[in-house]
């Protein structure tokens, strides 16, 4: 709850900056349909239709159904609780009349999942309640507010993230000793999950592909669970994995090479693929500064890889990380249809980003590294100790 109060305070400052008078998160049965804003600025669920309201003047208001009121009154982040029994409309309109906001942000966005927590049915319901009032025309998307709020990490948030990152890298260190020909991808995943449980932390995303483990050539590639495929000498192996500490995520990838009999180091083509990936990350990170346009950073890594004769990666260079492993907002994104307008957005100070290019090394597997950087006024600072050389097994 301390974190919630800190972020609500930050939200008020962002409303002032963006000249938005009121931010309305409108939900019902939110444990079934959890608007991602709730984790940031509410910290609890409610059953009936509930309006969680943050105002530019600092007032915080919850309009809530009778049975939910008792638990909401315990929420220190919401000073005013307005209860209703039969329907929310009259009480909600009462609050709007009292505050008379000129711009009201609601949670919808074509481009950003994290700012798109309002369902279409709830949108229609809200519009029907506002019919005939001046407020219907004052609605705007909360996309910029949520992007700033999730993006600009407070020092508490950076501290939590550093812990999650350190723990992940410590586990990767232990993994190196565990890897051996004959073990399966699933064995490796089990080894990691055991460590995670011992540390008493949560996974950063769904257990079916956290950790994701890929060994050798022609595996599924990404977003796929570990299989019974066995590690063999001559494989390039990579793992994608993260944990959640105090609600904040890490998301990191590392690459190993399993040496064949007599090999001191990796074959030239494996080493070269790894080096191209590593250098593409360095180049991208060096170009990151507040105000730089998102797609330009993706283009730096992408062209470094294609200029070296490899195919381009079939995804974005990186995304923001925070409470969610994929935290939304402006990432390091190519100008592809599916990223909407986000690739044209600018990087903001305080944001935390992954950088995660990949390339296939024919006959061996995939080289991929995922680092995490924090964007300061001076540029990108690595929160993860970068992988400089291929891990050899």
Positions touching a second copy (CB under 8 A) are: 28-29, 31-34, 36, 44-49, 65-68, 70-71, 85-89, 108-125, 128, 205-206, 208-209, 220-225, 314-315, 324, 326, 336-338, 340
64 token code pair:
């809530």
Alpha-carbon 198 to chain mean position: 25
8 A C-beta contact, residue 169 and residue 195: no
- CA–CA distances in Å: residue 168 to residues 51, 135, 175, 246: 38, 47, 11, 14
Containing H/E element for 158? Answer: helix 155-178
Q: How far is the CB of 371 from a second copy (least distance, A)?
A: 19
Q: Which residue number, 3 or 393, has a Cβ lying nearer to a second copy?
A: 3
List, in order, residues 6 or more apart from 380 with CB less than 8 Å away.
285, 286, 288, 289, 353, 373, 374
CA 59, 161, 379: angle at the middle one, nearest 5? 90
Task: Single out the residue of 69, 93, 70, 71 nearest to residue 82, CA to CA.
Answer: 69
List, in order, residues 6 or more apart from 49 with CB less than 8 Å away.
26, 27, 28, 65, 88, 122, 125
Q: How far is the CB of 203 from a second copy (least distance, A)?
A: 11
Residue whose token pair is 């220190």:
76
- CA–CA distances in Å: residue 216 to residues 229, 259, 360: 9, 12, 10
**CA-CA distance, 192 to 210, in Å (whole number)?**
9
Q: Which residue number, 129 or 288, has a Cβ lying nearer to a second copy?
A: 129
Task: Single out the residue of 120, 109, 110 nearest to residue 146, CA to CA.
Answer: 109
Q: How far is the CB of 47 from a second copy (least distance, A)?
A: 6
**CA-CA distance, 109 to 118, in Å (whole number)?**
9
Q: Which residue number, 28 or 103, has a Cβ lying nearer to a second copy?
A: 28
Q: Which residue number, 48 or 52, has a Cβ lying nearer to a second copy?
A: 48
List, in order, residues 6 or more apart from 185 with CB less than 8 Å away.
213, 214, 215, 226, 227, 228, 229, 231
Q: How far is the CB of 85 from a second copy (least distance, A)?
A: 5
Q: How far is the CB of 83 from a second copy (least distance, A)?
A: 10
Q: Which residue number, 114 or 380, has a Cβ lying nearer to a second copy?
A: 114
SS3 389: coil
Q: How far is the CB of 273 from a second copy (least distance, A)?
A: 19
Q: How far is the CB of 13 from a second copy (least distance, A)?
A: 25
Q: How far is the CB of 332 from a second copy (least distance, A)?
A: 16
Q: Which residue number, 288 or 370, has a Cβ lying nearer to a second copy?
A: 370
Residues in the chain: 393
Q: Which residue number, 72 or 164, has a Cβ lying nearer to a second copy?
A: 72
Q: Which residue number, 11 or 129, has a Cβ lying nearer to a second copy?
A: 129
**CA-CA distance, 209 to 134, in Å (whole number)?**
48
Q: How far is the CB of 267 from a second copy (least distance, A)?
A: 27
Q: Which residue number, 120 or 268, has a Cβ lying nearer to a second copy?
A: 120
Please confirm whether the linkage preceding 205 is cis (ω < 30° from 0). Answer: no
| Bridge partner residues of 354 (DSSP) | 372
SS3 214: strand
Q: How far is the CB of 298 from a second copy (least distance, A)?
A: 13
Q: Which residue number, 235 or 323, has a Cβ lying nearer to a second copy?
A: 323
């Amino acid at each position: 709850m301390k974190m919630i109060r800190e972020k609500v305070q930050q939200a008020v400052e962002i409303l002032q900056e963006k000249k938005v008078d009121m931010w309305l998160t409108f939900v019902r049965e939110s444990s079934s349909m959890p608007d991602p804003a709730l984790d940031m600025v509410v910290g609890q669920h409610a059953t009936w239709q509930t309006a969680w309201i943050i105002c530019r003047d600092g007032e915080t208001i919850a309009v809530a159904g009778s049975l939910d009121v008792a638990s909401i009154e315990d929420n220190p982040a919401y000073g005013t609780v307005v209860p209703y029994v039969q329907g929310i409309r009259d009480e909600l309109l009462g609050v709007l009349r009292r505050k008379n906001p000129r711009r009201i942000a609601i949670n919808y966005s074509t481009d950003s999942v994290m700012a798109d927590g309002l369902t279409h049915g709830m949108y229609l319901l809200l519009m029907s309640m506002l019919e005939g009032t001046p407020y219907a025309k004052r609605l705007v998307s909360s996309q910029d507010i949520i992007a700033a709020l999730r993006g600009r990490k407070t020092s508490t948030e950076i501290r939590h993230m550093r812990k999650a990152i350190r723990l992940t890298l410590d586990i990767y260190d232990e993994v190196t000793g565990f890897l051996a020909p004959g073990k399966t991808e699933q064995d490796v995943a089990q080894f990691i999950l055991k460590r995670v449980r011992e540390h008493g932390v949560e996974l950063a995303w769904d257990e079916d592909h956290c950790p994701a483990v890929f060994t050798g050539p022609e595996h599924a590639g990404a977003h796929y669970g570990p299989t019974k495929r066995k590690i063999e000498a001559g494989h390039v192996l990579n793992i994608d994995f993260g944990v959640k500490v105090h609600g904040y995520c890490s998301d990191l990838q590392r690459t190993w090479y399993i040496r064949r009999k007599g090999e001191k180091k990796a074959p030239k083509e494996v080493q070269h693929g790894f080096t191209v990936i590593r250098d593409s990350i360095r180049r991208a990170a060096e170009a990151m500064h507040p105000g730089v346009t998102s797609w330009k950073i993706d283009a730096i890594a992408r062209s470094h890889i294609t200029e070296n004769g490899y195919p381009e990666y079939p995804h974005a260079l990186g995304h923001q990380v925070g409470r969610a492993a994929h935290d939304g907002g402006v990432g390091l994104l190519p100008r592809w249809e599916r990223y909407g307008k986000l690739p044209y957005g600018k990087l903001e100070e305080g944001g935390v980003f992954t950088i995660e290019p990949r390339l296939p090394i024919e006959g061996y597997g995939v080289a991929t590294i995922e680092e995490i950087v924090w964007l300061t006024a001076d540029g990108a600072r690595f929160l993860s100790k970068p992988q400089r050389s291929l891990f050899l097994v």
